[in-house]
Every structure is written in C-alpha cells, then in structure tokens.
C-alpha cells in the first residue's frame, strides 16, 4: 500500500508542477539527500 500512496503523491505533485506552465527541473542534490535520509528513517 505504501508504494501506491507514494505513486499517487508523486503524480499529484508532478501534475501540479506541469500546470504552472514552467519548465520542470530536478531537485537540488541537497534536497534529494534529505528526502532519501527521511525515507531511511521512516522505513527502519
């Protein structure tokens, strides 16, 4: 169930980003590292 919820969240965020009309960019490396660490702590 976690994967489904994660997919829905990512899809919603991506849709909202596309609806702005601006170019989609990657997150900064520091943000990616932060989220990766949060995932590790959550699913420990």
Look at the block and give the residue holding tokens 């169930």: 1
- Residue bearing the bigger pLDDT, 24 or 44: 24
| pLDDT value of residue 24 | 86
% helix, strand, coil for the chain, step of 5? 75, 0, 25
Using DSSP's 3-state secondary structure scheme, residue 22 falls into coil
Q: 21, 14 in Cβ contact below 8 A?
A: no
- Residue bearing the bigger pLDDT, 44 or 13: 13
| pLDDT value of residue 3 | 84
How far apart CA 1 and CA 9 sit, in angstroms, is 12
pLDDT tens for each residue of 1-43: 678 898 999 999 999 999 999 998 888 999 999 999 998 888 7
């Amino acid at each position: 169930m976690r994967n489904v919820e994660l997919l829905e969240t990512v899809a919603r965020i991506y849709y909202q980003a596309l609806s702005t009309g601006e170019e989609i960019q990657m997150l900064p490396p520091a943000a990616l590292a932060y989220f990766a660490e949060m995932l590790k702590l959550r699913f420990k």
